[in-house]
């Protein structure tokens, strides 16, 4: 009985892995259920047995991808023990490590959200995650200490996430400009783990940041 359950789980994971590769490579619209079955090396009936439809499978993959994209900062944002500067360093480390392993996730998530935003965005507590976090509180306190009257939390978040995510989304262009191979690009991203916190610290010390 246990072996049968493990077999079911292995088959389900194989289907999800195949679907994720195809969705990330081709997008939802261009991916057919037959393509997923062929990629997973199963018959179409078995795919329908486990997931029912391409739409249901896509929603599972999408939500898991979004969770992967966000989970690296959920704990960090609400850690009472770390300072704002320490949080920035941790976020830089976590995001660069994650995106180095799964560089397709941010582009996949953002491109598909544009098509499915009404369905997925409302299921995500993104506003609460960011705006009600310890991170946001510490940022506002930092701005009060510097005497800034233009303390835009949203600009700060955009700057931080852009510094971390954009290089991976634009890897082909960056690699072409710098004539970088994959190893050299990875090394460049490793350097950003230390550089991004330095740049962010400079922003924090600037009164007129927005």
Question: What is the per-residue DSSP string for 39-56?
Answer: HHTS-HHHHHHHHSSHHH
Would you tell me how many other CB atoms lie within 10 Å of the CB of residue 63? Answer: 13
**Crossing angle of the two packed helices 105-120 and 2-26, in degrees rounded to 10:** 100
Spell out the per-residue pLDDT of the chain, length 210, in tens: 435 555 567 888 999 999 988 988 888 888 999 999 999 999 999 998 999 888 889 888 888 877 777 776 788 998 999 999 999 999 999 999 988 988 888 777 777 776 654 566 666 666 677 888 999 999 988 888 877 655 588 888 899 999 999 999 899 999 999 999 999 999 999 999 999 999 999 888 775 444
pLDDT of residue 3: 55
Residues 173 and 142 in one domain: yes
Q: How many domains does the chain have?
A: 2
pLDDT of residue 1: 46
The closest alpha carbon to 21, from 97, 96, 108, belongs to 108
Cα–Cα distance for residue pair 116/74, rounded to 1 Å: 23
**Among all chains, which residue has been given the structure tokens 């079911």?**
8
- Residue 92 and residue 189 in contact, taking contact as beta carbons nearer than 8 Å: no
Cα–Cα distance for residue pair 115/101, rounded to 1 Å: 25
Residues 136 and 171 in one domain: yes
Residues 115 and 199 in one domain: yes
36 falls within a domain: yes
Full domain range(s) for residue 187 = 62-204
φ, ψ for residue 104, nearest 5 deg: -80, -20
pLDDT of residue 172: 93
Cα angle value 110/115/118 (rounded, 5°): 100
210 falls within a domain: no
Cα–Cα distance for residue pair 167/50, rounded to 1 Å: 37
Residues 77 and 110 in one domain: yes
Residues 121 and 80 in one domain: yes
Among the candidates 52, 75, 94, a domain finishes at 52
pLDDT of residue 2: 39
- Residue 86 and residue 138 in contact, taking contact as beta carbons nearer than 8 Å: no
Instruction: Give pTM, 2 decimals.
Output: 0.76
CATH number reported for the structural domain that contains residue 6 in this entry: 1.10.10.60
Q: Quote the tokens at residue 184.
A: 């050299």
pLDDT of residue 203: 84
Residues 29 and 133 in one domain: no
pLDDT of residue 151: 58
Cα angle value 51/123/166 (rounded, 5°): 95
């Amino acid at each position: 009985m246990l072996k049968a359950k493990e077999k079911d789980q292995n088959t389900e994971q194989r289907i999800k892995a195949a679907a994720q590769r195809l969705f990330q490579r081709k997008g939802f619209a261009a991916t057919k259920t037959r393509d997923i079955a062929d990629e997973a090396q199963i018959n179409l009936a078995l795919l329908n047995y486990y997931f029912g439809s391409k739409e249901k499978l896509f929603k599972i993959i999408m939500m898991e991808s979004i969770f992967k994209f966000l989970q690296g900062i959920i704990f960090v944002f609400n850690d009472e023990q770390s300072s704002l500067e320490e949080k920035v360093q941790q976020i830089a480390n976590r995001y660069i490590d994650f995106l180095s392993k799964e560089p397709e996730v941010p582009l996949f998530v953002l491109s598909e959200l544009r098509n499915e935003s009404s369905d997925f965005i409302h299921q995500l507590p993104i506003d609460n995650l960011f705006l009600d976090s310890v991170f946001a509180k510490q940022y506002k306190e930092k701005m009060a200490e510097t005497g800034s009257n233009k303390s835009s939390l949203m600009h700060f978040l955009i700057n931080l996430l852009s510094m971390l995510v954009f290089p991976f989304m634009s890897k082909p262009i960056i690699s072409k400009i710098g004539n970088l191979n994959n190893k050299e690009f990875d090394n460049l991203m490793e350097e950003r783990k230390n550089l991004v916190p330095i740049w962010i610290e400079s922003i924090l010390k600037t009164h007129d940041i927005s």
